Each structure stands twice: as structure tokens, then as C-alpha cells.
Structure 1
Amino acid sequence: MKKILVPTDFSTCAKAAENYAFMLAKKIQAELIFIHVVITPVDWTKLTKEQENFFPDTKIAISKAKDQLNELVDQAENEGLSARKILVYNDGNEKIHKYVGAEQIDLVVMGSHGQYGFRDHILGTNTYSMLRRADVPVFVIKENNPKVELENLVFATNFNEETGESFRTVEKLSELFGIKLKVLFVNTPTYFMETNDIMNIGKSYLKDFGNYAYDIHIIDAFKEERGILQFAEKSKADGIALVTSGKSDLIQYFSPSVTENLITMTDLPVISIRKSKI
């Protein structure tokens, strides 16, 4: 794992994600790539220097963004890390999730206020768009994140075979960062199962997709989100990891994923692993 992408708008929310990314990068000596999007009234890349003068406010915003990106790169280098910056001019058509593939990114760390709004959710904020489309792990960090380290991680799963490859990704992350992984099954009234059945399915799942022996934790709750949060608090977890299906924006609005719901409900870091296409 060599490259960490950090989208930022330089807000206090983004600052929390930046700090978290620094912590992760130091553990594995990864390169930090800071990316910022400047909203432009036209396609900025097609303007001449003279034409740029017609948009003085945009020129100021670009200059300020360059300075702030340079400060982040300087900070990283002063802390012994490799870093670089990407400034994106966005006239409404640019999507930053495409840079994950283009830059061969290994994981993304980004901030979120974790608030739903009808217009924002239909259009898809950068964070939710990244969750649904990125093929690498996405760490979502809230402004009030209470954790400065990642030592105990809850992985909530239904032991569905389709998520097996994604579990392997989570396990690799735990190995890389020295994380203690806690496997959780939330037993809800809607999909109620007897404990023996859960244990048998879970053991088979871990045998097929895991490299280590894990205890299987079971908690009863009316909703998956409620059970995950209760267990995370009880186990003093530093973060929560889940497999995200990556539904389209419209479908997600009418049926939000558990991952997105959790982001609105907790200040803990939430790690989204998109379901692998196998």
C-alpha cells in the first residue's frame, strides 16, 4: 500500500481527515496525495491568461487553494513523508473518484459532516460519491472524531459469500496497520437467525476467506446500525468497517446503505469497502 488520496476543501471537517491521513501514512510510509476541487464558471483549462482576468474571484480562489495545498505538502515533507498535490478545476462535470484509478490510489481518507439533505444526497456529495464508486477502501472521518489511533476495528458482516473478497481486503488492512479486528454479526428481527446457525455460517465464512481465527461476536438489535454502534461502544472500538454495495445515487436516496446511515450517526471513523466484483 503506497498511496493515500486525501480530498480536502480546507474546512475544519477536512482538517480532521488530513490529520488522520497523516497518522495512517506514518505507520506505513505511504505517499499522501492531497486533492482539491475549485468550482469554476467555465472550463478553466481552455482559458488563456488574458481570459482568466475576466473571472477575478475564481483567480483568487485558485491562488488561495494552491497556497493551502502547498502548506499540506510542506507539512508532510517536514514530518518525513512523501506528498504531492492535485488541483482540479470543476465546471460541474468533474468527478474526483476517477482519480483513484488514474493515480493508482490504494486508499482514500476524506472528511464528512455526515448530514443528509435531499438536494445534496440526490446530487451526491464527494464523500458519498466516493463511497459508491471507489474500488479501494474509503476512510470517512468526522469533524468530531474522538480517535487519534486505529487499534481496534469492528467489522460488521452478514457472512454473505459475496462479501468474502472484501473481507480479505479488511484483513489485509488490519495486518498492514497492526489493527485488532473484531468480527460482528447483528441479529435483527427482520432477518432473525438462531445463534448456532450464525456461528456455523460465520465459521465457514472465516475458514473460506480469513487467514486467522477470529471470535464471532453476535448482538441482537432492531436495526443493523443500532447493533453496530452498541457493540462499538461496548468494545471501545476505534473505527467501524463495512462492505458497501455501491448502489446508484437515486437508489441510495430511497434505500440508504447501512454505511451511509452510520456516518450520520457516529463520530467514529467509518471504513467502507465496496463489494468486490467476482
Structure 2
Amino acid sequence: MKRILVPTDFSAYAEDALKVAAQIAKNNNAEIALLHMLELPGQMSDATTGGASIPEVMLFMRKAHETFEKIKSSPYLDGIVIREVVQFEKAFSGILNYTKKNEVDLIVMGSHGVAGMEEIFIGSNTEKVVRLSTIPVLVIKKDHGDFITSDFVFASDFSKESKKPFRKMIEFAALFNARINLVMICTPNSFKTTSVATKIMNDFIAEFDISNYTLQTYNDSNIEKGIINFTNSINADLIGICSHGRTGLAHFFNGSITEDLVNHTVKPVITFKI
């Protein structure tokens, strides 16, 4: 891992994400790109400034860089190469465009929890970044202090298309020497017997060179509750799921499972694109 992107609106939630990114960066000798998006009012027709006057643009830029300097002086960033970036784009498109042009390995985003993403992450921005990003997205809900990930939940239907993102998940877990707890959630609408579920998971894991893992089945009323309740039952540190681009999550991870997990659990969530 060489480069971590942290989008920031300078809120406390963005700082929580930055603190986690800093710990990951230090453990992997990676640099951090701090990205601030300026969505300026369209008062004129200047494509470069978004319609704002030049003095107004300069004021926004100066304030952004002043805030960057304060952030970069934080002790938790000591020894880390920080690249500060200000772009004139809408939040989600700016984040995705930056990752494509700059070989980013991981996006770390701050979240407000149940109320959704704060400021630049309001509305559908989180959904769009998580669903459309081709690189892993780690969503942080609070100040974690020491970011410990000794137990990592991977919830899946264990289909063939989940194998590629699972390889990325193994690589991420290895950064922390974490145990991966593979779980199949069984609901009234997607019920499987224990023996059938266990065979599916054993067949899935057989292709991978991995030893630090467990296989579990968990029954609940729906997928989202099952993932959250299972994670809490083993006191896991992180939830990992596979995203499926524009069509949502693959198979039983359809609809709004990603954003529901991001909003309804205090646990960090990391998504990997199928």
C-alpha cells in the first residue's frame, strides 16, 4: 500500500478517518492525500472556478490551505508524507476522479453514523463512492483511538464473483495480522441448512492460501441485521463486504445494504468492488 486518500470537509468525522488513515500509513510506509472539494456557487459561466469570482476563489483556496497547515501539524501525522489537494468538483465525482488519476490504494472516509455522512458526504455521495469506486473504501464512524482490527467479518453469499474481491480482503487483513470470520447470513427468504451453507463456504475458501479464519452461519430476520448482530456477537473490529458497482451489492447484498450498514453500525465498514 503506497497511497491513501482521505476526503475531508474539515469536520470532526473527517478527522476521525484521518487518524485511522495515519495509523495504516505508518504501518505500511504509505503517503496520505488529503482531498478537499470546493463546490462553488454558479454565479458566472467560468468552467474553471465553477462560476465564482476570482477573489472569492482565492479566499476559499487560502482558507483551505490554512486549515491544511493546522491539520498537518497534528502529532498523529508526524513522519507521514501528506499531499494536500483542493479541487473544484462535486464531492463524489472529485473523489473518484482523483483515485483514477493518482494510483490510490485505499479511500478512508468519515461518517456521521445513523444520520448519514456529514457535510460533503450528505445524501447520495457515500453511496456513489462506495458503489462506484474500483478501489477499497473504508468508512469510519467515530474516533477509534488505536485502530485495532484483530477480527475481521467477511459476510457474503460466497459466489464465484466474490472470489476476486475476497483476495483483496485477504491482503487488507494481512496488514493487521487479522483473523477473517467468514459468515453466511441465513434469513427466511434465503435459508440454507447448516450442512449446505458449510459446504458452500468450504468450497469457496479451498482456493485460497489462508489459515487464520473461521467459518460461521448466522440466522436472522434480514441480511443487514444478521451482519450487525453477528459482528457484535463476536466483538469483531471491522465488517467487510463486496460491492457490485451500479447495480448495488451482488446477490443477497442488493438494494441499500451497503448504506444501511454504514449508517446503522458503529463498526468500521470496508467495501471491495466485484
Short-chain TM bin? 0.7 to 0.9
**Structure 1, unaligned runs of 5 or more:** 250-254
Return the alpha-carbon distance in structure 1 between the equivalents of residues 146 and 236 of structure 2. Answer: 9
Instruction: Among all aligned residue pairs of Structure 1 and Structure 2, give the percentage whose two residues are the same amino acid.
Output: 28
- In 2: Cα distance, 1:13 partner to 1:122 partner: 12
User: Structure 1 residue 44: deviation in Å?
Assistant: 6.7
Q: Aligned partners of 1:24, 1:93: CA distance in 2, in Å?
A: 23
For the 8 Å contact 1:144–1:267, the answer to whether it is kept is: no
Letter matched to residue 243 of structure 2: T
Partner of 1:52: 54
Aligned residue number for residue 252 of structure 1? none
Range with greater deviation from structure 2 (62-71 or 225-234):
62-71
| 2-structure distance, mates of 1:26, 1:93 | 27
User: Cα gap change, 1:271/1:138 in structure 2, threshold over 3 Å: closer, same or farther?
Assistant: same
Cα separation, partners in 2 of 1:93 and 1:35, compared to 1, 3 Å: closer
Match of 2:194 in 1: 195
Aligned residue for 1:5, secondary structure, equals strand
Is 2:110 the counterpart of 1:108? no
Distance across 2 between alignment mates of 1:10 and 1:138 = 19
Does the 8 Å CA contact 2:238/2:270 hold for their aligned counterparts?
A: yes
Structure 1 residue 145 displacement after superposition: 5.3
Which amino acid is the alignment partner of residue 67 of structure 2?
Q
Residue 133 of structure 1: how far off its partner (Å): 1.2
Count of aligned positions: 262
Who is 1:20 aligned against? 20
Mapped to 2, the partners of 1:77 and 1:144 lie a distance apart of: 13
Give 2:6's aligned residue: 6
Instruction: Give the whole-Å Cα distance in 2 for the aligned partners of 1:256 and 1:19.
Output: 31
TM-score by length of 2: 0.85
1:266 paired to 2:268: no
Q: Is the 8 A contact 2:38 2:86 kept in 1?
A: yes
Aligned partner of 2:85 in structure 1 is 86
Which secondary structure does the structure 1 equivalent of 2:183 belong to? strand
Q: Is the 8 A contact 1:165 1:209 kept in 2?
A: no
Q: CA deviation at 1:221?
A: 0.5
Change (3 A) 1:233 1:122: closer
Q: Secondary structure at the match of 2:188?
A: coil
Q: Could you say what secondary structure the match of 1:99 adopts?
A: helix
Partner residue of 1:99?
Answer: 98
Q: What is the rounded CA distance, in whole Å, between the counterparts of 1:39 and 1:121 in structure 2?
A: 13
Change in Cα spacing, 1:76 to 1:204, as seen in structure 2 (3 Å) is: farther
Confirm or deny: 8 A CA contact 2:116 2:122 kept in the other structure. Answer: no
Give the C-alpha shift of residue 227 in structure 1: 1.2
| Residues 1:32 and 2:45 aligned together | no
Looking at structure 2, the residues matched to 92 and 235 of structure 1 have their Cα atoms a distance apart, in angstroms, of 35
Cα pair distance change 1:29/1:262, threshold 3 Å = same
d(CA) in 2 for partners of 1:154, 1:245: 18
CA pair 52-121 structure 1, distance change in 2 beyond 3 A: closer
Secondary structure class of the residue paired with 2:207: helix
Deviation at 1:71?
3.0
Q: Which residue of 1 aligns with 2:206?
A: 207
Q: Which amino acid aligns with 2:234?
A: S
| CA displacement at 1:91 relative to structure 2 | 6.8
In the aligned structure 1, how far is the partner of 2:164 from the partner of 2:92? 32
1:141-180 deviation line (CA, Å, top 9, x unaligned) = 1136587322211111111111101111100111122222
Question: Take 2:229 and 2:123, find their aligned partners in 1: how far apart are those partners?
Answer: 31
Q: What TM-score, normalized by structure 1, do the two folds share?
A: 0.84
Describe the shift of the 1:44–1:150 C-alpha distance in structure 2 as closer, same or farther (beyond 3 A). Answer: farther
Segments of structure 2 that go 5 or more residues without pairing to the other structure are 249-253
Instruction: Provide the rounded CA distance (Å) in 1 between the counterparts of 2:77 and 2:68.
Output: 14
RMSD over aligned Cα atoms: 2.9
Measured after TM superposition, the shift of residue 76 of structure 1 is: 7.2
CA distance in structure 2 between the partners assigned to 1:211 and 1:224 by the alignment:
26
Deviation digits for residues 33-92 of structure 1 (CA, Å, limit 9, x no counterpart): 100001222577746xxx512x3xx54332111112233334479621112111112378
Note the 1:60-75 alignment, pairs <5 A.
60-75=59-74
CA distance in structure 2 between the aligned counterparts of 1:210 and 1:74, rounded to whole angstroms: 42
8 Å CA contact 1:244–1:257 kept in 2: the answer is no
Q: In the alignment, residue 228 of structure 1 is paired with which amino acid?
A: I
Q: Distance in 2 between matches of 1:163 and 1:171?
A: 12
8 Å contact from structure 1 (residues 28, 177) kept in 2: no
> Following superposition of structure 1 onto structure 2, how do residues 209-224 of structure 1 map, counting pairs within 5 Å?
209-212=208-211, 214-224=213-223
Q: In structure 1, give the amino acid aligned to 2:2.
A: K
